[in-house]
Amino acid sequence: MKRPITIAGAGPSGLTAAINLALAGYSVEVYEVNRTAGERFNNCFQILENYTEKEELLTSLNRMNIKVNFFCQPANEINFYDSKLTRCSLKSRVEPYGYFIKRGSDNDTLDQGLVEQASDLGVKIIYTTKLNQEKADIDAEGARSIAGISKEIVFDTNINNTFRVILDNNITPGGFSYLFAINKKGTIGSAVLRKFSQINSFTAKAVDRFQEIEKFEMKSPKEFVSYIDFFISKSAKNNNRLITGEAAGFQDYLFGIGIRLSIQSGYLAAKSIIENIDYDNLWKSQFTEKMKMSIVNRFLYEIGGNIGYTRFNKSAQNSDFKEFGYKLYQPNLFKKFIFPFIKIIWKDYSKCTHGDNCLWCRRKLEK
């Protein structure tokens, strides 16, 4: 008889693991500290990226036994702006560079879609309960420390099908701001990797800048803050506990778009249990090079500053945006050569909160 499995966290990685384990005949319990999965996101728009891998996202989800029973709109076009609000229109001509999804408690969100799939398979989800990590077979509880902050505002609006990103160190140092509006619902976000205490000011500046591009209404606004964590670990296991998602440091360090990595890590954790395969070997073969390249991308992104952002926009505009994104994450001789030097420049173990297991930590962060 197969042993029962307990999972801490009902995010994308935890629920993906639960779905695959239940399909294999395991009895699964998922413990979630909030009242429902995705509660804190207020039904905001986010992106499931489709550019870091050759395999198309929907094909990948199907292979991992995830049904698309949630809002999932192909993203083929987006406008990027630099510090002078010069626009570059970016397009993916063959396959979308990503898919817009919703996160939150509405029925059409990714979170509730995964809850429905898990529940239909007999997975028991226990809310408002924190599971002791030592008792979990899979730890999917999210970020342990703060490598970056993103503040989002969700609102009703009079604009539709609007997708804009601003790259400007004056309003989002080391990060970016974005406006997504679909079906008269909008999300504005500001993501930064430093000066966290000024996130409210940065978000207000981002709103003003988007209003400069085009005036729009922001009715019934709701605000929330998200944290991202990133590190490369020696192991994503603690004794017999498998660690997934951002709890294991799985994140894109360039733009912080890590939902696909979370889903993949949940699938690999389930595969490890079902097939008795070493989990570390599974995730390292899929994630390590991609995460290293995201460090190189982040380094090049930052040293270029606002001038570099303008060049980035123009280069992306002259390419198929999905193919442009894919190339960013492919290792080449130059990126392999400079990676060890970036580690030397940025690494500061004295500031690391991940312990001896960490193979990477960034320089001291500006709070």
**pLDDT number for residue 1:** 65
CB atoms inside a 10 Å sphere around CB 101 = 23
Task: Note whether 251 and 135 are same-domain residues.
Answer: yes
Q: Per the structure, how many domains does the chain have?
A: 2
- Residue of 51, 52, 47 lying closest to 290 (CA atoms): 52
Domain of residue 53, residue span: 5-70+104-145+231-285
**For the segment 128-169, what is each residue's pLDDT rounded down to a tens digit?**
999 987 899 999 998 878 888 999 999 999 999 999 999 999
First to last CA, the chain: 51
Measured in whole angstroms, the distance separating CA 186 from the mean position of its chain's CA atoms is: 19
Task: Note whether 280 and 304 are same-domain residues.
Answer: no
The tokens for 334 are: 């130059």
Task: Note whether 136 and 237 are same-domain residues.
Answer: yes
Residues 6+ apart with CB under 8 A from 335: 293, 296
What is the phi/psi pair of residue 233, to 5°?
Answer: -105, 160
Task: Note whether 307 and 332 are same-domain residues.
Answer: yes
Domain assignment present for 54: yes
- Which H or E run contains 111? helix 110-120
Task: Note whether 246 and 337 are same-domain residues.
Answer: no
Task: Note whether 36 and 17 are same-domain residues.
Answer: yes
Task: Note whether 138 and 237 are same-domain residues.
Answer: yes
Task: Note whether 312 and 256 are same-domain residues.
Answer: no
Domain assignment present for 86: no
Task: Note whether 305 and 275 are same-domain residues.
Answer: no
Domain assignment present for 305: yes
Q: Work out the percent of the chain whose per-residue pLDDT is above 90.
A: 77
**For the segment 61-103, what is each residue's pLDDT rounded down to a tens digit?**
999 999 999 999 999 999 999 999 999 999 999 999 999 999 9
CA atoms of 36 and 38, how far apart (whole Å): 6
Task: Note whether 26 and 128 are same-domain residues.
Answer: yes
pTM of the model: 0.95
